[in-house]
Amino acid sequence: MSLIATQLRRKLVSSRYAFTQTTGFASGSKIKEITNTTQWDELVKNSTSSGRPAIVQFTAVWCPPCKMIAPVLEELAGKHTDLDFVKLDIDNHAVTNIVADYSVAAVPTFVSLKGDKKVHAFSGADRNQLQKMVEDMSDL
């Protein structure tokens, strides 16, 4: 590995640590972090059996728009307790298949689910679009 690649990797690892210590991934968040396929399968199973919709954010540690929209998502999660809110870090190799299954090409990407069915998806840190998605799912 080249010196530059090593330095970039160190920077990414340290920024990932700082991110998890200072954002909605910290304890007390109303948004659950999905870190493996078992947790994902459990979410889908529970959503299917209960009919409880979910809002999924595909995010990344290095993504400024993701950090910008995080407080908005946290606020919506607090208001819409009838929905499950989850985040997946696209750089987590344990969830690579999930990222691919939902064709995530940009972050943040938001997906609304009803059971195992995708209802709606969009990419970008658009507060109004996110709010509409959440309200639409809350009405189901």
- Look up the CATH number of domain 3-138: 3.40.30.10
Domains of the chain, by residue range, sit at 3-138
66 catalytic residue (yes or no): yes
Give the pLDDT confidence score for residue 49 in this predicted structure: 93
127 catalytic residue (yes or no): no
Give the pLDDT confidence score for residue 3 in this predicted structure: 54
Digitized pLDDT (tens) for each residue of the chain, 140 residues in all:
555 544 545 554 444 444 443 344 445 789 999 999 999 999 999 999 999 999 999 999 999 999 999 999 999 999 999 999 999 999 999 999 999 999 999 999 999 999 889 999 999 999 999 999 999 999 87
**Of residues 31, 55, 63, 70, which has the active-site annotation?**
63
Give the pLDDT confidence score for residue 88 in this predicted structure: 98
**Of residues 54, 60, 66, 107, which has the active-site annotation?**
66
SS3 string, the chain, reads CCHHHHHHHHHHHHHHHHHHHHCCCCCCCCCEECCCHHHHHHHHHHHHHHCCCEEEEEECCCCHHHHHHHHHHHHHHHHCCCCEEEEEECCCHHHHHHHHHCCCCCCCEEEEEECCEEEEEEECCCHHHHHHHHHHHHCC
